Structure 1
Amino acid sequence: MKKIIWSVLVGLMSLALLAAAAGYWAVEQVNTYGHTSLILDNSKELDVKPGTTVRQVVRQLAKDGVLSEDWRFKGLLWLHPEMANIRAGLYELTPGETLLSLLDQLHEGKVKNFSLTLVEGQTIAQWQAQLAHQPHLRFQPGAFTRVMAKEHASGRPEGRFFPDTYHYSAGQSADEILTQSYLKMQQELEQAWAQRDKSLPLKTPYDLLTLASIVEKETGQATERGWVAAVFVNRLRKGMRLQTDPTVIYGMGERYRGNITKRDLREKTPYNTYRINGLPPTPIAAPSLASLQAAANPAKVSYLYFVSRNDGSHVFSNTLKEHNRAVNKFQRNQ
């Protein structure tokens, strides 16, 4: 009897060992499957619609040849049951990524992010064209004025939005990005106005914004912004017209084709600072933070004129005689 019992115990132990070995093998197979890289040569977008299950996602990826679907996937969900809960959205699959890392993305909702750069010195019209063609971004005409109305602001949107790089996910509304941009500009403008040179001949923060937009359009040289701002401030103080070409171009609108004629300079538009006194009625572009700061605190120089050297830099002059000499040298080749 003892021998029989012993034989049964040995048999049961052997079965248990075999079962343990089989279980260990199965777990190893499942883990190997989970850490196997997806079959990708290039990045691939994965659009998970609301209501889609994780099994449907894996089935589609297997159909696309991105991975193989077999019994080990069920084992993977058994080991990681939380991975069955996934979130809808647009995801990006990258070469070298594993099935487990993909499932983690889907579970955590780590959707693909896109970037949008609203460039300083550009106009609302240019930004609208950019937004209308931005991938995976919902854009409806009137977004800028709609955002301003939501923030209880009135007037034209030109210059009222901050140029910067913004991030969004697929399907997000452009209004959300523009709200960030609008609030950022109001914050930076308020700070620049509070820290301005109190002797500036400017009455409101909006005047500062308008001046900054002209500075932005006149130079891309960081070292010149303060001098350019000083020229315009000095002219305002003396009652001289600003006579800046970018305001003429803005007033021409779609008629501008790359050149300004004498007739254009004589045309009296609300923006032609060769014909009007003081600042134009609105900004003419989106100023950068650097231009805002330069307009708020111009350089302490007495310059009244500047002319381009045709290399991105300018020659600054105190008198009209000096300015004409610079014009002859750099613009007329005399």
Structure 2
Amino acid sequence: MSKFIQWARPYRRVSLIAAAWALVQVTGVQGQELLYVASQEEVTVAVIDMSTNQLVETVDLKEFGYSETAKAHHTAVEPDGSHWYVSLIAAGKILKFDRDNQLVGETAFETPGMLSLDPESDLLYVGRSMAAVNPPQRIGVIHRPSMELQEVDVFFPRPHALTVDTRGNRFFSASLGQNSVAYASLGDEDVDLLGLDGMNHMLVQFAVSPDGNWMVGGGQMTGDLLIFDLNGEVPEVVNSIEVGGQPWHPSFTPNGHFVWIPNQAKNTVTVVDTRSWTISNVITHPALAEPHGSAVSSDGSTIYISGRNVAGTYRPADGGDGRPGTVVA
């Protein structure tokens, strides 16, 4: 079910993508579907044409004056492809680029991590990085046209997992430090808190189903994928699936029938059938090296998984040196 992307030589900039961390897709100009992959160690963003699986450009953020330790982490893209955003953990910045990959704005935010864009408003939500030991107990809300930022109290330590549910008109954030999920209406500063049972899951990231009925989140400590029912005013955990291996950034397929979950500590990807909430497949491949991010093509035909490969278990196909990050389709 999986094949490793072999980049054509004219498009190669580094040994594939160095320490790829996060995937975000967009349908851009003339229907071109692009994938933006942040590289934390290289402080770059790779732009991949999803129709050809070619690396078409590598945006080096160091060329815009950011340091070699800025740590590019996560990306978000406007629905029309006009702008994209990237968080820099150590630099404490969220950057805004146009479709020509020119820097057009930035805003400061302490140790930014996950980004989630509300496509039906001008708001961009920002969480805190996992690397932040004791960040403020607030998330950021950016007005994208002006890049002005406000902070919203979530009342728990280390807010990391973050997603926007446009159908339910809500955002969700989860704590790495305790079993709590904060949620509120989009644009609202008054959050409600949902407590979770059991040991601390350390929810890494959420994904909401296309119909808005379900949300899933992976627990780094428990290895469980939690399933939330979003149909009521209060989200409810109705099921959990043991996938193991530190489930990281999940993605639903466009029809909502499957969730793909990278298992960072197992070097595998688990596929869950949402119609029965059972595991339908576990995928392995040499290039699934500490798999981290995921994204799905708009027609659901291709799923992309990024791998950190910090341990260097994967070596480049051309025999080169180094510890390149990977993207597997």
Normalised-by-shorter TM-score class: under 0.3
TM-score normalised by structure 2 residue count: 0.27
Structure with higher RCO (Cα < 8 A, 6+ apart): 1
Greater share of residues in strand: 2
Q: TM-score, normalised by structure 1?
A: 0.26
Larger relative helix fraction: 1
Largest Rg, 1 or 2: 1
